[in-house]
Amino acid sequence: MSKSNHLDPDDRDETVERALSEALTPIPLEPSRSEPLRGRLLARATRARAAGEGFIRVPLSQADWQRMLPGVRVHRLDPEQRAVMIELAPGASLPFHRHHENEECVVLRGDVRLGDIVVQPGDYHLAPADSRHGRVTSHGGALFYLRGTPIGHPAEALRDLVTALVPGGGGSPRTIRAGDGGWQPRGDGVDARTLYRGADGRSAMLRIAPGTRFSGSLPALGDECLLVQGDLAVDDWSMQPGDYQRCAAGDSGHSELASRDGALLFVRTTG
């Protein structure tokens, strides 16, 4: 049997890249070129760090998961905005309940079943105030975001369970699928689709094309944003799906945005 070459096409890409990089001889730069380059890089890093100082960032990798029910755990993102991440184990469920405020749901992974409605990755679901939900279940397990939920507020959560027994269905829920149309251009490589607009604010989904790079003010990111799919670098932060950010300073101070493989981003603007 012939010996496999370390550059065979079957090898992983990173193996090939490593072999090529090891074969390269570094070319030193003259101080007259290296010092200005170093200065520009440090200045860019300083600007990126300063741009992110007015934001609260909650990486999913540092989630403080807490058991809520058997097979259900919760990660509280932002008590002020009543935003949480929920993870359901296969077959787990949340009980029948009534909503006393608009509750927005975005699914990141798996399937969420709301009666006859199945919400899948990238889908958005709005349960309006005074509407009722049957049991929320997942056949194969799920990870999803909720905004406008009483989870973490025991008295209000109990109220939602008890009032679900009162007749009356309230407003009709609305689901917007990941593959639905309605996208509008927001700039080079960035499209937006409105999900909700009301007196308490507006929500949208941003679709960012692979290879997009943008510099300047980024008001499209809103007061809150959650990476749903893909990869996104915002200033000095490399976001992963499930990472959440809220503006603490009242303005959008971002200066740079980039995505290598493309991204889907949920954004919320209050008021």
Residue pLDDT, tens place only, 91-121: 998 876 575 678 899 999 999 998 788 999 9
Q: Where is the domain boundary, 176, 210, 232?
A: 176
Same-domain status, 86 and 150: yes
pLDDT of res. 40: 55
Distance CA 260, CA 213 (A): 9
- Confidence class of residue 20 from pLDDT cuts 50, 70 and 90? confident
Of 253 and 16, the one with more pLDDT: 16
Residue pLDDT, tens place only, 2-12: 444 444 454 55
Q: Where is the domain boundary, 160, 176, 192?
A: 176
| Beta strands at 263-270 and 224-230: parallel, antiparallel or unpaired | antiparallel
Matching residue, tokens 């390269």: 24
8 A C-beta contact, residue 244 and residue 83: yes
DSSP 8-state code for residue 180: -
Residues 47-53, mean pLDDT to the nearest whole number? 48
Using DSSP, state whether 211 is helix, strand or coil. Answer: coil
Residue pLDDT, tens place only, 152-169: 666 666 555 555 556 666
CA dist list (Å): 168 to 110, 132, 163, 165, 172: 30, 8, 10, 9, 11
**pTM: predicted TM-score of the whole model, two decimal places:** 0.75
Same-domain status, 193 and 263: yes
Same-domain status, 78 and 97: yes
Count of domains observed in the chain: 2
Matching residue, tokens 């949920």: 266
Distance CA 202, CA 207 (A): 17
Containing domain of residue 144, as a range? 60-176
Asked if residue 43 is part of any domain, the answer here is no
Q: Is 240 left (phi over 0), alpha (psi -120 to 50) or beta?
A: beta
Q: Where is the domain boundary, 139, 161, 176?
A: 176
